[in-house]
């Protein structure tokens, strides 16, 4: 999409699977320029199927395509200094960075929130985790099915045993609320345009 209410925004999408990509896609659908940054191995969902489309040697997962439209693609190996430098330069130009690494991974790669805001004080950071950034379960991976089970949703579905709902509703809602939080933070940033007014950099954690 080349036009829309968010056409002046640059979003860096470092997320994988569904919740984060869905949040970034919503901003892309409204006109933001979204650069999806993947490791050399690619987003997990590139292999989720069937169904796939395309020729056998160039087939693509429809699951991946359904949540990554309106994005540009860039491969960076953030374990290398050269590619970390590329990301740092992108961060300096961006309005939003989205990530859903396990807790501590982005820090180990050299991009804790403190450094992100050194590079770009106005950057809005959306950080999605399964169980929060601190606490006894912070380092656990979180997937939709886990959220449905531990949240109790499965206890009211199915007939003979707990059953997950037909769509990944926990991931979709996390993505929607994440995008909503990003827009709220951007609105707040826009209300404080004077130098120094954006005194408390925002990291919106979902």
5's CB contacts (< 8 A; 6+ apart) are 30, 31
Residue 51: asked if its preceding bond is cis (omega within 30°), the reply is yes
Helix, strand, coil fractions of the chain, as percent rounded to 5: 40, 15, 45
Model's pTM, two decimal places? 0.88
Average pLDDT of adjacent 10-residue blocks, the chain of 206 residues: 87 95 97 97 89 87 93 96 98 97 91 95 92 75 84 84 87 94 94 55 52
Q: What is the pLDDT of residue 2?
A: 62
46's CB contacts (< 8 A; 6+ apart) are 60, 61, 64
The tally of domains found in the chain comes to: 1
Q: What is the pLDDT of residue 151?
A: 87
Tokens of 100: 């859903």
| 1 within some domain | no
Residues pairing with 204 in the sheet: 126
Residue with tokens 């987003």: 43
* Count of Cβ atoms closer than 10 Å to residue 101 Cβ: 19
| 4 within some domain | no
| 91 within some domain | yes
CATH number for the domain harbouring residue 44: 3.40.50.10540
| 2 within some domain | no
| 170 within some domain | yes
41 lies in which domain range?
A: 10-205
* Angle at alpha carbon of residue 88, lines to 86 and 91, rounded to 5°: 115
| 5 within some domain | no
Tokens of 121: 């004080």
Q: What is the pLDDT of residue 203?
A: 57
| 75 within some domain | yes
CA 47, 51, 54, 57 dihedral sign is: positive
Q: What is the pLDDT of residue 83?
A: 98
Q: What is the pLDDT of residue 84?
A: 97
Q: What is the pLDDT of residue 200?
A: 47
Whether 85 is a known active-site residue: answer no
* Angle at alpha carbon of residue 165, lines to 164 and 166, rounded to 5°: 120
| 131 within some domain | yes
Q: What is the pLDDT of residue 183?
A: 96
Q: Which one of 13, 43, 144, 171 is the catalytic residue?
A: 171
Give yes or no for a contact between 76 and 61, defined as CB atoms under 8 angstroms apart.
Answer: no
């Amino acid at each position: 999409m080349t036009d829309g209410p968010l056409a002046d925004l640059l979003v860096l999408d470092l997320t994988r699977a569904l919740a984060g990509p869905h949040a970034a896609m919503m901003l892309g659908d409204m006109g933001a320029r979204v650069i999806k940054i993947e490791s050399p191995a690619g987003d997990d969902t590139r292999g989720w199927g069937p169904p796939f489309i395309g020729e056998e040697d160039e087939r693509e997962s429809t699951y991946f395509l359904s949540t990554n439209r309106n994005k540009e693609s860039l491969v960076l190996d953030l374990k290398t200094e050269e590619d970390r430098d590329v990301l740092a330069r992108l961060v300096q130009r961006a309005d939003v960075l989205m990530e859903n690494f396990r807790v501590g991974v982005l820090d180990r790669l050299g991009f804790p929130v403190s450094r992100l805001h050194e590079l770009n004080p106005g950057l809005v950071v959306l950080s999605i985790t399964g169980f929060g950034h601190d606490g006894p379960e912070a380092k656990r991976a979180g997937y939709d099915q886990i959220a449905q089970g531990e949240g109790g949703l499965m206890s009211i579905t199915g007939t003979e045993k707990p059953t997950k709902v037909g769509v990944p509703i926990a991931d979709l809602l996390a993505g929607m609320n994440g995008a909503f939080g990003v827009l709220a933070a951007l609105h707040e940033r826009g209300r404080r345009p004077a130098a120094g007014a954006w005194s408390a950099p925002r990291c919106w954690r979902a």
